[in-house]
Amino acid sequence: MSDSYEFVVVANRLPVDEVTAEDGSRSWARSPGGLVSALQPIVRRQGGAWAGWTGQPGDAPEPFDTDGMHLHPVGLSADDVDRYYEGQSNGTIWPLFHDAVEQPTHRRPWRQAYEAVNRRFAEAAALLAAPDGTVWVHDYQLMLVPAMLRELRPDLRIGFFLHIPFPPVELFMQLPRRADILRGLLGADLVGFQRPLAAQNFLQLTGRLLGLDPQEEHVVVDGRTVTARAFPISIDVTEVEELAADPAVQAEARRMRTELGGDRRLLLGVDRLDYTKGIEQRLEAYGELLADGTVSNDDVVLVQVATPSRMRVKEYQELRARVEREVGRINGEYGAVGQVPVHYLFQSMNRAELVALYLAADVMVITPLRDGMNLVAKEYVAARHDDQGALVLSEFAGAAAELPTAFLVNPHDVEDLKRAITDALHADGAEQAERMKPMRTQVRDNDIDKWASDFLETLGTISEDNDKGLGG
């Protein structure tokens, strides 16, 4: 069958963005990001397909081939975008799975749209996958897909990976129709999480809500074994290292430093503008350090790059307003003509610009209140081939478990934030190297290719065991 594929990726978004040229013509460009660059070679090698949304509301364009992948657009109407994507995914599940740092909103029409859209994705995967093929479903927008797909295609190997945290039992219990989500995930053979604790929370819930008998790393449901385990995601280390070694990128880093004020020490924040990222807490701590004279506008500058994200959702608009007000207040109070203590950029950057910033930064400040992993932390470490620079990292980012020699911090505690930033600023070259070296080794030894192959090899092995178990 020409239109059936051994390996199918299912994700909310396709790995391409539509770009409009100056003459108005439109084409597809591969989206930046580690996940796409890790999966694309696998998809290509296995003659694979990818089902996802284009990012634009309206009818789905016809399927097409690009970069050796078959792309199958799934259409979302404007209503679906409101209810499934901005509503249930980003207004209910996202905050609840991030410790409810913002209040989750519960709406019946959102749940209905989530189910309907998940079914559409499952049907697309069922259509694309070859007999006995492998389907890898991604993330919190599609948690019902594994079970829906298994019902349509019991022959498939199904893997699921959750990129965000999985909440503690008590918090998950708040979710209306919570058992549906568990049953949805249990349609997979392998459910992957960022952290072992997340896998444990999930397994525990299968006992509590579904009366199953979970074991350490698996649970049996309807005679099938479902494995739940951590696969901490990583980055494309080679890409970051190559950029960091590029003389043009290094020259850009030097230029940035000079423009930001000669020998002022540079603190850097790089985040999607999201309330889980702790940007307000970071600004509060920095403002207090300026206020109490621990740092001054003459010797320190903070560059905060915030990528616009989910800007139609009210909480994100409100966050933007609060962050921009605080930046204005700090600059108004502690700035001087021609020199301000915070440079705030509400924009996306290309990879080379980001790596130049990483090279220029003395202290990278990553302070999420909760984060599945946080790839920026790993990118910063990978870029620092000089073993210099200091990483302030929230204990509540998945990455903290792998990067214990960072300046770890509790972002809910402003005093602790101030302490960590000050310690990082005071670390001399020897201490910086002592902390950076083991982190660089860790990230180099565990890049995104290893992550993807670990997951897929595990999926292959457990599905074979399952087949044997059923056959015998």
Catalytic site positions = 163, 371
**Is 359 among the residues that bind ligand ADQ (CB under 6 A)?**
no
Contacts of 181 (CB under 8 A, 6+ apart): 143, 144, 175
Binding mask 305-324 for ligand ADQ (x = CB under 6 A): x-x-----------------
Q: How many CB atoms lie within 10 A of CB 264?
A: 18
Stretch that binds ligand ADQ, among 114-122, 346-354, 401-409, 453-461 (CB under 6 A): 346-354
Query: How many angstroms from the chain centroid is the CA of residue 88?
Result: 18
**Residue 447: CB minimum distance to ligand ADQ, A:** 13
Tell me the backbone φ, ψ of residue 425, rounded to 5 degrees. -65, -30
DSSP 8-state symbol, 92: I
| Cβ density class 60-79: b for 16+ within 10 Å, e for less | beeeeebeebbbbbbbbeee
The Cα–Cα gap between 21 and 78 comes to 25
Provide the b/e sequence for 231-245 (b: ≥16 CB within 10 Å): bbbbbbbebbbebbe
- Please pick, from the candidates 234, 374, 446, 463, the single residue that binds ligand ADQ as defined by CB under 6 A: 374
The piece of 369-377, 400-408, 415-423, 430-438 that touches ligand ADQ (CB under 6 A) is 369-377
To the nearest whole angstrom, how small is the minimum distance from the Cβ of residue 406 to ligand ADQ? 15
The Cα 470–Cα 472 span in angstroms is: 6
Say which amino acid occupies 193: F
Q: Phi/psi at 149 (nearest 5 deg)? A: -70, -40
Q: Which of residues 288-307 bind ligand ADQ (CB under 6 A)?
A: 305, 307
Q: Which two tokens stand for residue 320?
A: 């933007």
One-character DSSP codes across 311-378: TTSHHHHHHHHHHHHHHHHHHHHH-BTTB-SEEEE-S---HHHHHHHHHH-SEEEE--SSBS--HHHH
Considering only the stretches 78-86, 110-118, 366-374, 402-410, report the one whose residues sit in contact with ligand ADQ under the rule CB under 6 A: 366-374
212 counts as binding ligand ADQ under rule CB under 6 A:
no
Q: 76: which DSSP letter?
A: B
Tell me whether strands 64-66 and 69-73 are parallel, antiparallel or unpaired.
antiparallel
Please identify, using beta-carbon distances, which residue of 82 and 371 lies nearer to ligand ADQ: 371
- Give the shortest CB-246-to-ligand ADQ separation in angstroms: 17
- For 325, phi and psi rounded to 5 degrees? -65, -45
Q: How far is the CB of 270 from ligand ADQ (least distance, A)?
A: 5
Interface residue with ligand ADQ among 241, 379, 402, 447 (CB under 6 A) is 379
Shortest separation between residue 348's beta carbon and ligand ADQ, angstroms: 4
Residue from 348, 410, 422, 458 in contact with ligand ADQ (CB under 6 A): 348
Q: Is 268 in the site for ligand ADQ (CB under 6 A)?
A: no
How many other C-beta atoms can be found within 10 angstroms of the C-beta atom of residue 457?
10
Q: Quote the CA–CA distance of 137 and 12 in Å, as a whole number.
A: 9
- Candidates 156, 354, 369, 425: give the one binding ligand ADQ (CB under 6 A): 354
Among 107, 272, 320, 419, binds ligand ADQ (CB under 6 A): 272
Closer Cβ to ligand ADQ, 122 or 305, answer by number:
305
- 31 lines the binding site for ligand ADQ (CB under 6 A): no
Integer CA distances (angstroms), 405 to 140, 366, 431, 437, in order: 30, 14, 10, 9
C-alpha distance across the termini of the chain, in Å: 30
Angstrom distance (rounded) from CA 4 to CA 231: 28
**144 vs 233, beta carbon nearer ligand ADQ:** 233
Task: Please report how close the Cβ of residue 24 comes to ligand ADQ at its closest, in angstroms.
Answer: 26
Q: How many residues bind ligand ADQ (CB under 6 A)?
A: 19
For residue 162, state whether it binds ligand ADQ (rule: CB under 6 A): no
Q: Does 371 bind ligand ADQ (CB under 6 A)?
A: yes
Taking the complex as a whole, the smallest distance from the CB of residue 272 to ligand ADQ amounts, in Å, to 5
- Check residue 96 for interaction with ligand ADQ (CB under 6 A): no
- Per-residue binder mask for ligand ADQ (CB under 6 A), 214-253, x = binder: -------------------x--------------------
- Hey, is 98 helix, strand or coil? coil
Q: Min. distance of Cβ 185 from ligand ADQ in angstroms?
A: 17
Pick the closer one to ligand ADQ by CB: 204 or 307: 307
Report the nearest approach of ligand ADQ to the CB of residue 165 (Å): 8
CB closer to ligand ADQ, 48 vs 372: 372
Q: Which is nearer to ligand ADQ, 348 or 458 (CB)?
A: 348
For binding to ligand ADQ (CB under 6 A), which residues are involved?
Answer: 33, 163-164, 233, 270-272, 305, 307, 348-349, 354, 371-376, 379
